[in-house]
Chain A
Amino acid sequence: MAMENKKSRKSNFVTVSIIILVGIILLFSSFYTYWNAAPAEQTCASCHEISLRVTSLSHSAHREVSCKECHGTALSNGLHSLKEKSMMIVEHLRGKNADEVRMNEEQYLTVMENCRRCHTSEFSNWKSGGHSATYTDIFLDEKHNSVEQLNYDCLRCHGMFYENSIDELVDNRTTKGPWNLTDKKKATQATITCSVCHSIHTDGDIKQTPDYANPAEIFYDRNSKVPEVSFYVRAEKTHVPVNLLSKPKITHEGEEIMVSDDPLMRNCVQCHAPNSFHISATSDDRTPRGVHEGLSCMACHEPHSNDARNSCIKCHPAISNCNLDVTTMNTTYADADSPNNIHWVSCIDCHTDGSKKSVFEKNKPVLR
């Protein structure tokens, strides 16, 4: 009798469990269908905390892109999303306001794959340039690490989306080594993805190439035509549109140099920055001075590959007035001794006033 009771209780338990499970599955799948079919206003944006962001997207060039393409749906992005979204609602019901939706690093990597679907050439340009550096390239660079300790500020410009602290990224924060990534999966991941410079939650406008015939447009008067360019500020965990970033004031030998008004350049300067005294050519500053003073980075550099080769001939005749072949000149920044470092070559470097040796004498150019 007791035995039977136990048995039936057991089978009762199984039946009830099955019913509950089926119920959950039914509820869940119906909700899931609704979630995918309904417009954003009735799903994501019905949560007023994020309505501002949804509005900005619906006015942007990417208005056709639905929320879930980047943020993932409750299921397609796994437990993380499910937990994140449901916790937002729980917090909301508790009377606490959840903060804006923040994506995790994995989602940002997924977003990159989404961008790639349409923006194929931009993606391949990026891939070919320095900004596609991986975690290994950046954080396990022996030359760097043996000179300087990795610190919190590294993540301001490299691996901005990394969710933990630098202590947890590389296991040894000394200059002695050896250094290892604590999470091996990170080794081949990109550190500077599309979302570092782009946010699609902005008022839209269609991208235009600068008018090279109009000097003002590539020099000081250049205006942003690409409002989705914004810098991801890790500290604030948010994108800041370029027009809100500051225009740098940079001095050379005590004199302020003219800096391009191009808002896009402000993005570059956030990381390729001078020291806190804002002195030209200190730290990683590459703001042009000399003959190219006032030029925006974007005038020469392709924005995604950062390649600047063949950019000289946009303005200069292939064979210059001095009979130099601008297409083969060494104009690089990387070589500190380059006589023609495009960023700060000045008139006097060639046209010497007699007090200083001309670069022609120092470093005879190849004349045809």
Chain B
Amino acid sequence: MDETIYSRRKFIKTLSIGVGSLLLLPRCTFSKASDWRFFTNEEGALVDAIVEQIIPTDEWPGAKYAMVTNFIDKQLVGPYTRHQEIYRNSLSAIQIACKKAFSKKFEELAWDEQTDFLVSLEKNEIATKVLDKSVANGNPIRDADKAIIENWLKSNFFSLIRNHTMQGFYGSPRHGGNYKFVSYRMIGLDPYPIMGQNRYKASSNGQ
């Protein structure tokens, strides 16, 4: 106990937490339900597709490469806990809508179909569109699904995920996105500015 002082109680507490949790480790390896913190694997795939639409790959990598989904997932169990509900429900609403309107998952749609879908979502028109289409298809939606679409398939979710995508892509990698500072390199901004301090100049002036 040279520099660090541990009280006996603290020591025992740490030890028992440590031993206890270490024993759980092997089980943990086999029972991984999701690769994400908040998202299910299905949601993760959907978010990957949406964020890639918001910042697509061109000559520079897009949002998926930049691990934007990881950024959002990480914030949803941190500062964005308050957005969990809207994410869970809106993501589910998107898949229900895609199933009803296209009989496919969102991420299985063609690129332009995905874009159109999100454009309508941004304009807050998608819910009506999907409901009309399903009626036209003679494939009316169950009341429960209809309620989810009406309540959660709204432009405010699009604004939210749009902003979060921008944050994940253009913010600091420490928050889980902007993998290898890809956005900074794209813009031509030094991730770590090269700058010394001016003290040599200052001291030679005698100031």
A binding-site residues for B, Cβ under 8 Å = 24, 27-28, 31, 35, 42-43, 46-48, 74, 79-80, 82-83, 85-87, 89-90, 92-93, 95-97, 147-148, 153, 183, 185, 231, 233, 236-238, 240, 244-246, 248, 269-276, 278, 282-285
Contact = CB atoms under 8 A, between A and B. Distances in A.
Interface residues of B, number: 43
B17 interface: yes
Contacts of A82: 14-15, 18
B22 interface: yes
Interface in B1-56: 3-4, 6, 11, 14-19, 21-26, 28-29, 32, 35, 37
| Max chain A C-beta neighbours (<10 A), residue from B19, B32, B77, B203 | B19
Contact of B194 (A46, A74, A87, A270): A270
A272 B35 CA distance: 42
Interface stretch (B90-98, B125-133, B136-144, B172-180): B172-180
Given A93-B24, A97-B77, A86 B14 contact: yes
Shortest Cβ-Cβ A-B pairs, 5 listed: A283-B196, A86-B18, A273-B196, A89-B21, A246-B190
11 contacts: A31-B22, A47-B28, A80-B4, A82-B15, A86-B22, A147-B202, A148-B203, A246-B191, A272-B196, A275-B198, A276-B193
A105 to B, nearest CB: 12
A96 B17 contact: no
Contact of A278 (B6, B26, B74, B194): B194
Given A89-B22, A89-B28, A93-B21, 11 more contacts: A27-B19, A35-B22, A46-B28, A83-B18, A96-B77, A147-B199, A238-B174, A240-B191, A273-B195, A273-B196, A275-B198
B191 A244 contact: yes
B195 A276 contact: yes
A91 to B, nearest CB: 10
Contacts of B18: 74, 82-83, 85-86
Given A79-B14, A282-B201, A31 B19 contact: yes
Give the secondary structure class of B's interface: helix
Nearest to A236: B174
A365 B35 CA distance: 70
Interface in B148-207: 172-174, 180-181, 185, 190-203
A273 B195 CA distance: 5
Contacts of B35: 48
Contacts, number: 122
Contact of B196 (A27, A185, A275): A275
Contacts of B74: 97
A50 B124 CA distance: 40
Contacts of B192: 231, 233, 240, 245-246, 270
A153 B192 CA distance: 13
Contact of A31 (B23, B29, B201): B23
A27 B21 CA distance: 12
B77 A95 contact: yes
Given A48-B32, A246-B192, A86 B17 contact: yes
B33 to A, nearest CB: 11
B19 A24 contact: yes
B196 A285 contact: yes
Interface string B38-80: 0000000000000000000000000000000000001001000
B77 A90 contact: no
Contact of A89 (B15, B16, B25): B25
Contacts of A74: 18, 22
Contacts of B190: 246
Nearest to A49: B37
A185 B3 contact: yes
A92 to B, nearest CB: 7
A93 B191 CA distance: 34
Contacts of A46: 25-26, 28-29
A283 B6 contact: no
Name, among A27, A185, A246, A276, the residue most crowded by chain B CB atoms within 10 Å (CB to CB).
A246
Contacts of A47: 25, 28
A236 B192 CA distance: 10
Contact of A27 (B23, B28, B77, B193): B23
A270 B26 CA distance: 43
A79 B5 CA distance: 11
Contacts of A238: 174
Nearest to A154: B197
A42 B30 CA distance: 11
Contacts of A284: 196-197, 200
